[in-house]
Structure 1
Amino acid sequence: MAGFFSDLMGLRVLLSCIGFVGNVVLILSIIQIRFSRVKSFELFLLGLAAANMEEIVIINIYDVLILETSAAETGTWSCRLLKFMTVFGEINSILFTVLISIFRYQKLRDAGRRVNLPIFLDNIRSAWMMSGVCVMLSTFLSLPVFVMNLQQSKVNITSNSSGCPPDFFRCSKNYCPLLNRSYKYLFIVLCHMVPLLIVTITSCLILTVLLRQRKTVTPEVSVSGSSQLHRKTKDPRFQRSTIAILAAMCLFQVDWTVYLIFQWTFNATDFPISAEIEFFVSTSYTSISPYVYGVGNNLFTLRNFKNLLKLC
């Protein structure tokens, strides 16, 4: 069993390093663009990458240094602060993903009739405002962590010498404070189920628009007056970016669907490796998505890597 836990820890460190490097490179690639030229989509990607990186760093500090090290001595407020920052990063990552999916659908919807007219989120001030809304909502939904009941049940609840619980939501079968239980269900519904539903719907709508555009043909009148059909040409970079977004949305859906199944089906107190399972599920999207977005949006290119090496 000790060897199994060490293998899990090795995979955990590897996944964290991959995610950290990917998000840092994505942030630096976007920062290379002059802020006067940064568009709304790049701003949303920047917010997503920053939230991903913060979540990966803090969740490792909380889980490894606090939970796995029995010699760690951490006060209650330090424990709450670390958990707050973990939840804050997780919600921010989810909300920026929702924002990206909605933004791309709006760009695709009625594109033929709208032509080059901008949408609401194309305005950089509107993009900054919506990014601020995501941060404010994340802060508001994370604040209950500071008032959660940390009293442990005397039975089957493992904690280290610091008194920091492995999971603020975790309750024993015999003892579960009403505040903890209420916040758990509210958190799962508002921060996981609703965003998952929105991303799923917008992904289906984006896919429907793409399939409809492939079948769409428009009449074109030639100089001689004869009418001929011709397929609309689309920007290949925009199409590649949209496919990358769909791939990231698919990863998001699989990731958080598995997380919800785990939360609603299994009792975490019955599984000694439940914390590790939750870690892999909750960080797989934050670690892999920057590579999907970076490659699909031409941010992870040899030219950008050379420029980053020059900066280093």
Structure 2
Amino acid sequence: MDAVEWVESFARGIMCLLGIVGNNWLAFSSLPGSKSQLKTNDALFINLAVSNLITNYMVDLPDTMADFAGRWFMGLTYCRIFRFCADLSETSSIFSTLFISVFWYQKLVGSLKRGGAPIRLDNLRLVAALLGGSWMVAIVFSIPHIIFVGLEEGDEADCIDNFPSPTAHQIYEILYLSLANALPIAGIVFASIQIVVTLLQNQQRITGIGAGAVEPSPDKPQQEAPHPTVPGQEPQGSNSQAAQGSLTVYNGVQPGAVQQQPQVTPKAQVKSSPGPSGQVRAAKSVVAVASVFLVCWLTHLLLRITSSVKTSEVVVEVASYIAASYTCIIPYIFLYGVKKLNCTCRR
């Protein structure tokens, strides 16, 4: 291996390690104490972590080992498993990201616009059906890679697709990229845009309430002006001091303090009006993940389309690196969004 190949293999190994740590962290931190405590968000995060861990353990790790060895040394049997797991985890991860985006969009709308009303994806049976369906779709599209694979002979043996004909390979790629990539990606884009629009509308609403609460404040000096004296009573000597003292005892507090109370109350209401800040934070993390997802998977999609038209080892390798970068980045973004990116020993 030359220096460039060593750097590439080392970078792939670092991404694999980060992905293993991050996805295990996401999975274990999402595990509930009991079955009754399981929520939709936890189920979706666990499913995403499992999908990514299949990539980390069954795809990235063997691929990294093959890179350091300079050749594929694990035989045809594991080559079939390798290719099967690659598409299985990729498809499941895409659908998991789609479900998470839709869930947090519905949750955000339910919190900010409907007063925390329950949403459809709060139903765990519905979520289980959706996840089961996504795994079935992933398995169906991954089965051809158990059958149509082979080992490229030579000094640097490699695990490659071996379809009966280029036409069959192109038909498979068109169906796979359309149904298991393009459609879910379109759903993720739509849900992310809706989340951004909802957050902007909520921010404008908060700004409008804050402006309305501050407007009455210039009138307060006019309300406070009449309080120093009572008509016909002018403070003179000790009698005036007694009169002032009696007024102080009678009122209990200074008149200015009474006038300031309405000013404080609306401010407190403005701060509490946006709803649970945790849901807004999580929704923002979904938008961040969607941004990373689009950069990675749109590039990955274009490279897959290019490689299906004209086979290129460089294009396939770049697409593989992009997919690996996605699985090692997103768990940390989600952990930050749900406030689980911390140590248990910290106070």
Settle same-fold status: TM greater than 0.5.
yes
Q: Once the 2 structures are TM-superposed, how far is the Cα of residue 246 of structure 1 from its aligned partner? A: 0.8
Relative to structure 2, which stretch is displaced further, 276-285 or 237-246? 276-285
- C-alpha contact 1:81 1:146 (8 A) present in aligned 2: yes
2:201 corresponds in structure 1 to 212
Q: CA offset at residue 125 of structure 1?
A: 2.4
Q: Which residue of 1 aligns with 2:55?
A: 55
Contact 2:289–2:330 at 8 Å: present in 1 too? Answer: yes
CA distance in 2, matches of 1:73, 1:301: 38
1:46 match:
46
**C-alpha distance after superposition, 1:211-256 (max 9, x if no partner):** 1111225799xxx9xxx89642321111111111110111001101
Which is higher, the Rg of structure 1 or of structure 2? 2
How is 1:282-297 mapped onto 2 (pairs within 5 angstroms)?
A: 282-297=323-338
Aligned position for 1:240: 281
CA RMSD of aligned residues (A): 3.1
Deviation at 1:278, TM superposition (A): 1.8
State the shift of 1:50 in Å. 0.9
Conserved? CA contact 1:26–1:294, under 8 Å: yes
Describe how 1:177-256 pairs up with structure 2 within 5 A.
Answer: 177-216=166-205, 231=270, 232-256=273-297
User: Contact between 2:49 and 2:331, CA under 8 Å: does it hold in 1?
Assistant: yes
Q: Which runs of 5 or more structure 2 residues have no equivalent in the other structure?
A: 214-261
The size of the alignment, in residue pairs, is 287
Match of 1:100 in 2: 100
Contact 1:8/1:276, CA 8 A, preserved across alignment: no
Q: State how 1:62-81 maps to structure 2 within 5 Å.
A: 62-65=62-65, 70=71, 72=73, 74-75=75-76, 77-81=77-81
Q: Distance in 1 between matches of 2:183 and 2:325?
A: 20
The answer to whether the 8 A contact 1:159-1:165 is kept is: no
Q: Counterpart of 1:310?
A: none
The aligned counterpart of 1:257 is: 298
Contact between 2:70 and 2:156, CA under 8 Å: does it hold in 1? Answer: no
Match of 2:89 in 1: 89
2:159 to 161, 165, 187: 165
- Displacement of 1:116 in angstroms is 3.0
- After TM superposition, the structure 1 stretch with the greater mean CA deviation from structure 2, 202-211 or 133-142, is 133-142
Quote how far apart the aligned CAs of 1:64 are: 4.1
* Native 8 Å contact 2:96 2:131 kept in 1: yes
Q: Post-superposition shift, 1:276?
A: 3.3
- SS of the aligned residue for 1:165 comes to strand
SS at match of 1:301: coil
Alignment partners' CA distance in 2, 1:299 and 1:32 = 13
Matched, 1:24 2:13: no
**CA offset at residue 194 of structure 1?**
1.5
Moved more, 33-42 or 85-94: 33-42
Change (3 A) 1:31 1:113: closer
Give yes or no for contact 1:23–1:49 (8 Å, CA) kept in 2.
yes
TM-score w.r.t. length of structure 2: 0.73
Asked if 2 retains the 8 angstrom alpha-carbon contact of 1:58 and 1:85, the reply is: yes
Higher helix share: 2
- Matches of 2:33 and 2:346, distance apart in 1: 14
Deviation of residue 185 (structure 1)? Answer: 1.6
SS at match of 2:107: helix
Percent of pairs with identical residues: 22
Counterpart CA distance in 1 for 2:330 and 2:113 is 32
Q: Cα distance 1:113–1:306, how it changes in 2: closer, same or farther (>3 A)?
A: closer
Counterpart residue number, 2:229:
none
Contact preservation (8 Å) 1:255, 1:281: yes
Residue 299 (structure 1) aligned with residue 300 (structure 2): no
Aligned partner of 1:212: which letter?
A: Q
The 1:31/1:44 distance shift into structure 2, 3 A limit, reads same
| AA of the residue aligned to 2:128 | W
Distance in 2, matches of 1:151 and 1:12, equals 23
